[in-house]
Amino acid sequence: MKQLNSAFLTRLNRHVTLDSAERDAMHRLEGTAEPRSKRDPVFAADRPDDRIAILRSGWAASRVRSAGDQTTITQIYMAGDLIGLSDLGFRLPQHETTMQTDGTVNLLSRAELCDLGQSHPRLFAMLLSQSSLDATAMNDRLHAITRFSAEDRLMHFLLSIKSKTEQTTEQTSDRFPLPFSQKEIGDALGLTDIYVNRLLRGLQKAGQLVLSRPYIRITDRAAWEERLNFKDRYACLDVNWAC
């Protein structure tokens, strides 16, 4: 299979068929890929940046921090995700986004984004769809963190990571990567690293989980989804509404 040049398009490709003009527009837009190492900021930290990024490979994460070591991981990005949409309404980035693994990104300015909106409204609609998907996933996550027990929260987190990896890569194996320390998982779930550890060990001991760093396998995914009433939003995305 021919490797598409655009990570964003690769993602969309399973939902719509694009004409060649649209493909070309995206390719031109994405330009060249910049490498980033683990822990690097996605955007250079030194200057006010009005750009957005398309993550081409690797994982990234956004954090909110407050007094002391109070940290929350608010977003997790994988190949094809758009980074910086939530900063569009501000002059300065409100979010701190760093690479979670080594990877590459494409940077584009808001002006380029605008041009896209006018010349290819359908692509723009897809962008909106994608961002609505993120918002929906966020709502689900908020609900899980707000109302679930610690164990259910952890399960929900793992299921949603798994769903998202499936959106990105063609992969039928149950095994999927989990490039987070237990502390970081805690920061995503509102738990202590220590408690995350206990939960993981517990699940592993109960045979529900196989942990082989940095990979993980959920033994009986269907049972978990049943138990949590998990909805795979990624699976029912529909971007064919553009005029």
Partner DNA sequence: CGCGGGTTTGAGCCTACTCAACAGATGTGG
Partner DNA sequence: CCACATCTGTTGAGTAGGCTCAAACCCGCG
Residue numbers of the site for its own copies (CB under 8 A)? 50, 62, 64, 66-67, 70-72, 74-75, 85-91, 94-95, 110-111, 114-115, 117-118, 121, 124-125, 128-136, 138-143, 145-147, 189-190, 228-229, 231, 233, 236-239, 241-243
Which among its own copies, DNA, none contacts residue 173 (Cβ within 5 to 8 A by kind)?
A: none
3 state SS of 7: helix
DSSP secondary structure string for all residues of 36-67: E-TT-BSS-TTS---EEEEEEES-EEEEEEET
Nearer to its own copies, 145 or 210 (CB): 145
For position 37 contacting DNA by CB under 7 A, the verdict is no
For position 150 contacting DNA by CB under 7 A, the verdict is yes
H/E element, 176? strand 175-177
How many whole angstroms separate alpha carbon 69 and alpha carbon 225?
33
Which among DNA, its own copies, none contacts residue 125 (Cβ within 5 to 8 A by kind)?
A: its own copies
What does the buried/exposed string (b/e) look like for 140-151 if buried means 16 or more CB atoms within 10 Å of the residue's CB? bbeebbeebebe
- Sketch the per residue contact string, 197 through 236, with DNA: x for CB under 7 A, - otherwise: xx-xx-----------x-----------------------
How many whole angstroms separate alpha carbon 113 and alpha carbon 110?
5
Candidates 28-36, 176-184, 220-228, 234-242: pick the segment binding DNA (CB under 7 A).
176-184
Residue 217 CB, nearest approach to its own copies (Å):
25
Which among its own copies, DNA, none contacts residue 195 (Cβ within 5 to 8 A by kind)?
A: DNA
Which among DNA, its own copies, none contacts residue 95 (Cβ within 5 to 8 A by kind)?
A: its own copies
DSSP secondary structure string for all residues of 92-136: S--SEEEESSSEEEEEEEHHHHHHHHHH-HHHHHHHHHHHHHHHH
How many whole angstroms separate alpha carbon 74 and alpha carbon 65?
10
> What are the residues binding DNA (CB under 7 A)?
149-151, 181-183, 190-195, 197-198, 200-201, 213
